[in-house]
């Protein structure tokens, strides 16, 4: 919360004049014909430029930024990612940021923007949070084009024999709208479409978004789109986008979107912003291509994974690293003392309401108790043999005794260091100590990096491994529907795909009410979805939804234009 003496994130962002983005690109070694300008402050990087620089440059160090199980306010993971890169630049290491582009759903809902905060932001902040270069809209258009082709094929004789009751492809919209979770389409008679039940999901949960984020080049993008399973026949045969002859047109719509976007931090360092899959219902990481261009042009790259280490980090390792062939040298787990108190059973955090006073009062016992969540998230990263540094995202109400309690928990759980970071208030200067600890960990690296499960394990075994080893469940309970779907996917030849779990981000379990490190529970899987083009299978745990709803007081109520036509109310 800001006061009259504390400028808002938007005011801070506007107080800095961005460097010409062409200068930022030239500093990276990009040539003019490898840079596509979108105004003076943002640009796209061509795939040819990425390929050239990868041939000519050594790979930089690769650092993943993840977190504890967050509160509805978040733990400052994006802010820490930006602040850490700024800190690394300040201590003499050429560093870049790689983060996701936000969905308009959270921007106008609860969470707000995702450009960082305070003096650790990516700018221009308004562009970052609102449309940027149109990638998300291109993804939505490509996705909905496939949906239209399905219904059109059924209308014009259904030569492929698609079962209208087994159309697997929803429609998408990049606005949170619970009224569209379940809909019936085609009610206008024969000429207006075959009547059937379907759903909308938020665009960032589209398989097309995941495909874009994981594609290695344009040919790979086109091939992945063609493999997407859109429906089945009555006898269970998969109908792909290639079968419907729509994959090529979808790829055409994405020829600009596949190019990573280049922006900058408040301190003028490079920031790559590309793709934005949610981590609670998708794989939660920015694009492989953005990481690759960053690694080819910097000594060290800070890439962010969504939500806690049980969500975005596990998917980063088991899905993104499996697809890219890259692996990280170190990881940062972000924690806040207020969130650890909440995990320790003290206070309640509700977005849009003042913080519970109990969270602002020293309580070392609650921090230590809530530290069980931090310890488990450190253990989750260590499952992959990656060294961990804990970043204690500082707030003015934190006390020395509480900080020491966090450090004790972190070091006992296997972190190499736990460092207080004040990058929100001081930018890179406030993250110098964190930067030194992260560089030291990355220097050691992760020579024994390993994935959690092999490709040839069964889908059910992979789900059980994640549930028991990462979440701490006693086991998995598959619904009859989920068990049938898993058997079908295995029979269709998709059994070697990794798992992309969809579950609550607010708990290690499927139940947001279970804080800390819950024990004595089992993970219920109600259904399982196939993303053959992206290359993973998605079990839906508990009541997880793929289309969010708006809160009672949406953040969009605060967003407007002032008398001078300037945007106000973004946060």
Question: Quick check: 402 pLDDT over 60?
Answer: yes
Tokens coding 125: 């902040």
Same domain, 434 and 502: no
Question: Quick check: 319 pLDDT over 70?
Answer: yes
424 noted as active-site residue: yes
Task: Look over the chain and give the mean of its residue pLDDT values, rounded to a whole number.
Answer: 94
pLDDT on residue 1: 39
pLDDT on residue 278: 86
111 noted as active-site residue: yes
Does the residue 547 lie in any domain?
Answer: no
Does the residue 382 lie in any domain?
Answer: yes
Question: Quick check: 478 pLDDT over 90?
Answer: yes
Q: Which of 111, 222, 227, 322 is catalytic?
A: 111
Q: How far is the C-alpha of 216 from the C-alpha of 326, rounded, in Å?
A: 12
Q: What is the CATH number of the domain that holds 172?
A: 3.30.1510.10
Question: Quick check: 107 pLDDT over 90?
Answer: no
Mean pLDDT, residues 399-412 taken together? 98
Q: Which of 108, 200, 424, 571 is catalytic?
A: 424
Q: Which of 42, 77, 292, 515 is catalytic?
A: 77
What angle is formed at CA 121 by the lines to CA 120 and CA 123, rounded to 5 degrees? 145
169 noted as active-site residue: no
Q: What is the CATH number of the domain that holds 468?
A: 3.10.410.10
Domain that holds residue 342: 9-133+257-444
317 noted as active-site residue: no
Question: Quick check: 261 pLDDT over 90?
Answer: yes
Does the residue 566 lie in any domain?
Answer: no
Does the residue 553 lie in any domain?
Answer: no
Does the residue 1 lie in any domain?
Answer: no
Same domain, 266 and 382: yes
Mean pLDDT, residues 292-316 taken together? 97
Q: Which of 141, 395, 425, 526 is catalytic?
A: 395
pLDDT on residue 5: 66
Residue of 211, 386, 208 whose CA lies nearest to 289: 211
Same domain, 271 and 387: yes
Mean pLDDT, residues 256-266 taken together? 98
Q: Which tens digits make up the pLDDT trace of 54-93?
A: 999 999 999 999 999 998 888 899 999 999 999 999 999 9
The H or E element that residue 438 is part of is helix 432-444
pLDDT on residue 106: 80
Q: Which of 279, 421, 442, 482 is catalytic?
A: 279
Q: Which of 61, 100, 224, 338 is catalytic?
A: 100
Same domain, 348 and 392: yes
pLDDT on residue 255: 98
Question: Per-residue confidence at 249, pLDDT binned at 50, 70, 90?
Answer: very high
Does the residue 316 lie in any domain?
Answer: yes
pLDDT on residue 544: 80
Q: What is the total residue count of the chain?
A: 571
Same domain, 348 and 226: no
Q: Which of 79, 303, 460, 465 is catalytic?
A: 79
Contact assessment for residue 463 and residue 539, using Cβ atoms and an 8 Å cutoff: yes
79 noted as active-site residue: yes
Does the residue 3 lie in any domain?
Answer: no
Question: Quick check: 549 pLDDT over 90?
Answer: no
Contact assessment for residue 286 and residue 213, using Cβ atoms and an 8 Å cutoff: yes
Same domain, 302 and 424: yes
Question: Per-residue confidence at 111, pLDDT binned at 50, 70, 90?
Answer: low
Same domain, 129 and 143: no
237 noted as active-site residue: no
Q: How far is the C-alpha of 167 from the C-alpha of 169, rounded, in Å?
A: 6
Same domain, 500 and 417: no
**Between 564 and 5, the higher pLDDT residue:** 564
pLDDT on residue 3: 45
Question: Per-residue confidence at 277, pLDDT binned at 50, 70, 90?
Answer: very high
Q: Which of 272, 278, 307, 439 is catalytic?
A: 307
pLDDT on residue 550: 80
Residue with tokens 């990881």: 331
* Count of structural domains within the chain: 3
Q: How far is the C-alpha of 18 from the C-alpha of 7, rounded, in Å?
A: 18
Q: Which tens digits make up the pLDDT trace of 351-385?
A: 667 888 999 999 999 999 999 999 999 999 999 99
Does the residue 203 lie in any domain?
Answer: yes
Same domain, 275 and 217: no
Kindly give the pairing relationship between strand 120-123 and strand 261-265. antiparallel
**pTM for the model:** 0.94
Question: Quick check: 428 pLDDT over 90?
Answer: yes
Q: Which tens digits make up the pLDDT trace of 500-542?
A: 999 999 999 999 999 999 999 999 999 999 999 999 999 999 8
Same domain, 154 and 17: no
């Amino acid at each position: 919360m800001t006061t009259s003496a504390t400028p808002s994130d938007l005011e801070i962002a506007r107080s800095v004049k961005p460097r010409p983005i062409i200068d930022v690109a030239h500093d990276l070694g990009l040539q003019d014909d490898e840079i596509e300008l979108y105004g003076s402050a943002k640009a796209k990087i061509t795939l040819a430029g990425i390929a050239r620089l990868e041939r000519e440059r050594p790979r930089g160090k690769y650092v993943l930024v993840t977190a504890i199980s967050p509160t509805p306010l978040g733990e400052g993971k994006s802010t820490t990612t930006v602040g850490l890169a700024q800190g690394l630049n300040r201590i003499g290491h050429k560093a870049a940021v790689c983060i996701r582009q936000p969905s308009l759903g959270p921007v106008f809902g609860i969470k707000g923007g995702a450009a960082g905060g305070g003096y650790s932001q990516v700018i221009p902040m308004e562009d970052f949070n609102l449309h940027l270069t149109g990638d998300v809209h291109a993804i939505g258009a490509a996705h909905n084009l496939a949906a239209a082709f399905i219904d059109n094929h059924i209308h014009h004789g259904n030569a492929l024999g698609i079962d209208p009751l087994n159309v697997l492809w929803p429609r998408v919209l990049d606005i949170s709208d619970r009224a569209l979770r379940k809909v019936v389409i085609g009610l206008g008679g024969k000429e207006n479409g075959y009547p059937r039940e379907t759903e909308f999901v938020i665009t960032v949960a589209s398989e097309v978004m995941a495909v874009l984020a994981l594609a290695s080049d344009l040919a790979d993008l086109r091939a992945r789109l063609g493999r997407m399973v859109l429906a089945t026949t009555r006898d269970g045969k998969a109908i792909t986008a290639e079968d419907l002859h729509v994959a090529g047109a979808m790829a055409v719509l994405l020829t600009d979107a596949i190019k990573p976007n280049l922006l900058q931090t408040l301190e003028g360092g490079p920031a790559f912003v590309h793709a934005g899959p949610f981590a609670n219902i998708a794989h939660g990481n920015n694009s492989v291509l953005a990481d690759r261009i960053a690694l080819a042009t910097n000594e060290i790259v800070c890439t962010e994974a969504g939500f806690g280490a049980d969500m975005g980090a596990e998917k980063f390792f088991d899905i993104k690293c499996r697809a890219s062939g890259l692996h990280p040298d170190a990881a940062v787990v972000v924690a806040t003392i207020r969130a650890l108190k909440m995990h320790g059973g003290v206070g309640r955090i509700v977005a849009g309401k003042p913080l519970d006073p109990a969270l602002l009062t020293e309580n070392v016992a609650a921090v230590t108790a809530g530290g069980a969540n931090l310890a488990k998230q450190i253990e989750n990263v260590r499952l992959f043999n990656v060294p961990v540094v804990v970043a204690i995202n500082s707030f003015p109400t934190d006390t020395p005794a509480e900080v020491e309690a966090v450090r004790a928990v972190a070091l006992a759980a296997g972190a190499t260091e736990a460092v207080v970071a004040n990058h929100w208030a001081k930018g890179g200067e406030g993250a110098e100590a964190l930067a030194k600890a992260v560089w030291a960990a990355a220097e050691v690296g992760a020579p024994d990096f390993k994935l959690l499960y092999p490709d040839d394990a069964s889908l059910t075994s992979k789900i059980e491994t994640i549930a028991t080893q990462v979440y701490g469940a006693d086991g998995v309970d598959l619904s009859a529907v989920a068990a049938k779907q898993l058997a079908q996917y295995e029979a269709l030849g998709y059994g070697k795909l990794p798992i992309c779990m969809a579950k609550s981000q607010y708990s290690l379990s499927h139940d947001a009410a279970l804080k800390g490190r819950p024990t004595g529970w089992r993970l219920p899987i109600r259904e399982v979805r196939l993303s053959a083009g992206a290359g993973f299978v998605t079990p839906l745990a508990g009541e997880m939804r793929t289309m969010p709803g708006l809160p009672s007081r949406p953040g969009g109520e605060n967003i407007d234009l002032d008398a001078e036509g300037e945007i106000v109310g973004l946060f």
